[in-house]
Structure 1
């Protein structure tokens, strides 16, 4: 229920039958946050941490920016980042020593843990707590969902998947402990219900959704009550946010209706998601925008495809499976097609960053209050190596990030150094992380908001 105080608390929800709808940051909430505004971890300057995993490395020649220090000229794979380049820094020559011997399983497992996976085909797997979950233990306590784990594939494989390593290492980016992997969700409907559903079982929430045209139907009276307390600018913000929620829900419903007429479902794709990879990915990214905007969670991981994925990409003219293309044997045609997939994945991430940049929050944008790491745990997939990884960081001034730059290390540097740096910038201070030997201080400098 909405209270009658002049200043709304940041943790205000619109509640109805089976529904708990978080709100974006409003001017009406700012007075309640003023006393905390000076704190780096203040809700008035919310910081979020996200990780997007690109599988099976890339064509590093088409990835690496030509400029030694700036992103004034972007490489072919990164060209779509042009509109947001001032919020992006590419970091060259990072490595994952603990991912060797080079495998797909260890590429995925070490990306966020920087730890060595125990080689086993059974359930006695052992890795390390991932950087996202270390952050979730502290800043995740302040949100309804401590973290959100997303993927694009139906990760139902079990047993041994890669050179004696259990499938669990390829299926899960996030681990809350060395023995506890956190399953990711690829179905937009289930993610939507996690963000906005409340009460009863998942079956209860789905039944409630079937009884009404939209989740927002359950909070119509609460919306009207809230709007009567807000000024014109806040009413417009709420209207825009609710329309974004309604549009995402409409797209999910359309995908579910379309799937009923699909006689040949994709075995790697859950039933009821868009048949187009791009539309599915956009839905998953838009759900992240809603989650971050409503402060439902501040920690997100997203796997664009699993390692060894044989997905094809006919929508961009690549009919060959992704995984075999990465074992290209230096064939220029295969390398070009692999790079086209890399470019496609980056373009979807660029669209997402553009939406964050276009979403106002306080006196800046949602992108200004986020830090996202995008990259892969594999460098050259033809060699299965874990050095010179394709890595970039995107974000804004609330984390004091210096964008528009290319940081190039002369010697291979632990990816764990970047994880340690990002943790520090969201207020989680550790002396070390995995095999780190320092921080990447050049990534940030003090900025005035």
Structure 2
């Protein structure tokens, strides 16, 4: 595109890279036009697999989450009692972690990448499992992936192959509109014009003359940015394609960070709708508990911020409040399972076809420990094994679970990050 007439950077000088990419839908991972082709649709399964990965970056109280015994007949812990109705639908893991992923709170950005030493000044992230999936099957849906968050700033679980963070969307209402609200013809054309402008901005940035230091920094991003640019033109076709129609109303976004649980509930329902309408097959959700103040919970009194409570120092007053918060997380997870099981798809439930990964980068938030991570996997066509207990002193590599998830999604990959194989003890069903 010619830049001599008008430099888009001059006309939008205040626009940041983050704002620009969010405006172009990158927070939702731009849709790919190839998915509209008959050949691509023919390759898609009538009942596809899906993955929803959730990270609560303050974790769960270990003694309340992990069962004391192992195997299919394990005795449920206090937290798992909340999920008792669905115990045949999930496996809980203990004694697992990401090798060499340390640093306490910063480890949340490695939850789905397993990239080592995230607190290091020289750290550069790697591809997250959701984006690995999106690169391979994203062409089959309107949105190759959804990157979502609650109460976070720029922190994200989703990272490209070049180690670039995908900004998360936090408004359930906004994502709902993008998925289901069809714009007027005028609005559609305005969106297409916006996409064209986005391409112009990228052109202008790449053609600018900059110094060696700036060029080195820009080069770290340009491969990913150009990949996104290549999707801008393709996304025009989706703008003119009718969106799915759902009966549920647009959710109302809570205004306060303290309404954390209401935000989580909105997102869970949104993901069910996204899977039910096959709008995407790969979703991540960062629950940024670290950035959450006092949490509002119906019928309970929480007197301190979530982060402060996690540093309980064995104070029974703080532990009691954490148990309430953690139990509510389990209740909402149970509601998510119920919603997914309530949708039939080709003789199975949506939970049967969808893997729900729930866990944390911290095994013990009080000690900032990244070993013995709490992890649970539900649904997805596995023969669930109850409680798979590994060595809590010499942890089993969690990336092995990611390999199993990728294979269940249809990928033939044998390795992801620091994996050594598939997850021992977790078998797939035949279908």
What TM-score comes out, normalization by structure 2 length?
Answer: 0.71
Q: 1:134 aligns with which of 132, 135, 140?
A: 132
Classify 1:406/1:119 alpha carbon distance in 2 versus 1 (closer, same or farther; 3 Å).
Answer: closer
Post-superposition offset of 1:313: 3.1
1:421 equivalent in structure 2: 404
Post-superposition offset of 1:412: 0.7
2:175 equivalent in structure 1: 191
Q: More deviation in 191-200 or 282-291?
A: 191-200
Distance (whole Å) between structure 2 residues aligned to residue 76 and residue 248 of structure 1: 35
Deviations 1:16-69 (CA, angstroms, capped at 9, x unpaired):
xxxxxxxxxxxxxxxx99x97xxxx85223100110111212211110123311
> Which 5+ residue runs of structure 2 have no aligned equivalent?
1-37, 192-241
Classify 1:203/1:405 alpha carbon distance in 2 versus 1 (closer, same or farther; 3 Å).
Answer: farther
Post-superposition offset of 1:370: 0.7
Structure 2 matches for 1:81-120, cutoff 5 A?
81-100=83-102, 102-106=103-107, 108-117=108-117, 119=119
Q: More deviation in 357-366 or 61-70?
A: 61-70
Structure 2 matches for 1:303-342, cutoff 5 A?
303-315=286-298, 316-342=300-326
What TM-score comes out, normalization by structure 1 length?
Answer: 0.69
1:286 equivalent in structure 2: 269
2:141 equivalent in structure 1: 143
Post-superposition offset of 1:306: 4.2
Structure 2 matches for 1:355-370, cutoff 5 A?
355-370=339-354
Distance (whole Å) between structure 2 residues aligned to residue 434 and residue 389 of structure 1: 17
1:402 equivalent in structure 2: 383
Structure 2 matches for 1:108-257, cutoff 5 A?
108-117=108-117, 119=119, 126-155=124-153, 168=154, 171-197=155-181, 245-249=246-250, 251-252=251-252
2:203 equivalent in structure 1: none
Deviations 1:408-429 (CA, angstroms, capped at 9, x unpaired):
1134111111111111111122
Post-superposition offset of 1:116: 2.3
Q: More deviation in 64-73 or 355-364?
A: 64-73
Classify 1:364/1:385 alpha carbon distance in 2 versus 1 (closer, same or farther; 3 Å).
Answer: same
Distance (whole Å) between structure 2 residues aligned to residue 319 and residue 385 of structure 1: 25
1:44 equivalent in structure 2: 46
Post-superposition offset of 1:284: 1.1
User: What do you get for the CA RMSD once the two structures are aligned?
Assistant: 2.9
Distance (whole Å) between structure 2 residues aligned to residue 125 and residue 306 of structure 1: 23
Classify 1:201/1:147 alpha carbon distance in 2 versus 1 (closer, same or farther; 3 Å).
Answer: farther
Post-superposition offset of 1:340: 2.2
Post-superposition offset of 1:201: 6.2
In the alignment, is the contact (CA less than 8 A) between 2:70 and 2:388 conserved in 1?
yes
Post-superposition offset of 1:441: 4.1
In the alignment, is the contact (CA less than 8 A) between 1:248 and 1:286 conserved in 2?
no
Classify 1:405/1:119 alpha carbon distance in 2 versus 1 (closer, same or farther; 3 Å).
Answer: closer
